Structure 1
Amino acid sequence: MTDAEEFPYKFNPEEKVLCFHGPLLYEAKCLEAKLRDKDGSPAPHYLVHYNGWNKKWDDWVDETRILKWNDENLARQRTLAASQESKKKLEQPAVKPVEKKIRKEDGTAAASVSTSSRAARRKPRTDDTLEAESEAATRIEIRITIPENLKRLLVDDWDYVTRQKKLVTLPRTPTVEQILQKFKATQLEQHDNTSADVLDEVIDGLTLYFDRALSKLLLYRFERPQYADYSVDHPVFRASQVYGCEHLLRLFVKLPALLAHTTISEDSAGLLVAHLDSFLRFFDRNFTGNYENATPDYCRRASP
């Protein structure tokens, strides 16, 4: 009796499917089916490719993470996506002190910094989300070590903006995009064994997180009118092409909590942390702050 006869596969190569990655369902294609060990016994597993994703994310999954492509499961995908979006709005991280010197301020970016940042606490989840998470692979906690000098710069950054009423000049030079590209060039020049593809993936991820987080998580309340003014003059812009060192540093305070919503393998997590550590060492050597005094008119507009 063949494996297929003894263990009939529910999904076939080239079949369009839905697959869990973290708490959400994504469109994917089944590439291969084979028996692999699960809890000491052989069980059907499927190699899937997530549509639109880099093939590096192709993954072997068991039948708890893969669903048929049909109207019922597509509706479930939409429900989970809506639930996760609502959850993110409810769980928008509160602002916490940095080394007890940064005070809580609604809508600002500062958060607690430790040498091993912890993932954000999670609020109670809906039944659908709980079911999805129980079926998904276990999340790996990402720990980021922020150098002591950069932690001191975070404290200074808070003081400049919230107490001294200074602003970062926009557009900033160098921009976040330029900083990340300089890091890539430096790494490739100094380390022959560094993969350009992996570096691109890390840099693209950081850029995406920055662009999405800037307006919601990385601005102090005093900076919001400046952001609003810039948005009026430039209706379409990418934050990573306008903001620079100061706000990128704030992203690394938030990053562990943001990454807690993703599911990656232990090996991938280790590789990611290694690249983030390398970047922070580079960032520590190349960080340059640039603030200007806000005008009296701006201070009046920014006052609560």
Structure 2
Amino acid sequence: MEHENDVFLHQIDEKILCYHGPIIYEAKIIKAQYLKEKGPYYYVHYIGWKQTWDEWVPQCRVLKCNEENLKIQQQIMNSLEKKNKTVDKTAETAAAAAKKKASVLEKGKKRKREISVKKTDDIVKKSKIIIDLPDALRTFMIHDCNNIKSRMFVPLPRKPTVSDIISDYRVWRCEKLGNKDSCNAEEIIIGVHFYFNRCLGTRLLYQLERHQYKEMREKFKHLDNSQIYGAEHLLRLFGK
């Protein structure tokens, strides 16, 4: 333990950049601690956020606040904004096309409508990624569904959040597998994070949860869905 201080790359009270999910935020180091078999950890406060979001993070999530890393931060933001615009544009185009197609089908025969609907269903089914969930998780999802029907909603904001879970997975993967296929893995991690944020409100909620969702979006406008919701809703992404 005598060389612990040698492995800390950052200091207490230092202004840094820190990964929270796929995005880099400005933060300040409040405390530092060396965890056996895990290495240096920092307790950080995200600048402009409430203290309830302060958290311990591994050193691999912390960057020096310099010109080079600020450029990386901006590149990530630009990339996510570009993806958002692409998704929005695609959704608008698809909606317009669907509306036009529906109008045409209304003038046709019932058989033609049935064929069209069947083809659409086939396309949706083929595009789904099927993940074989363990029985324990399937049982958990059934209990989750029953709780919602009984109006026993998950308390929000959740801890750990989806962002926390994804960040912990990123750290675990880095420690266990090193740089093996790191580029492909990071793309998948960012993709899951992005897809959750975009699809929660439209695909992952039960009807009874929509009022709670509206309240959360109004109360936490500066946060992504992945910084509010937790494991229950992330599991629905893979199990629905």
Normalised to the residue count of structure 1, the TM-score between the two structures is 0.39
Compare relative contact order (CA 8 Å, sep 6+) and give the higher one, 1 or 2: 1
Higher helix content, 1 or 2: 2
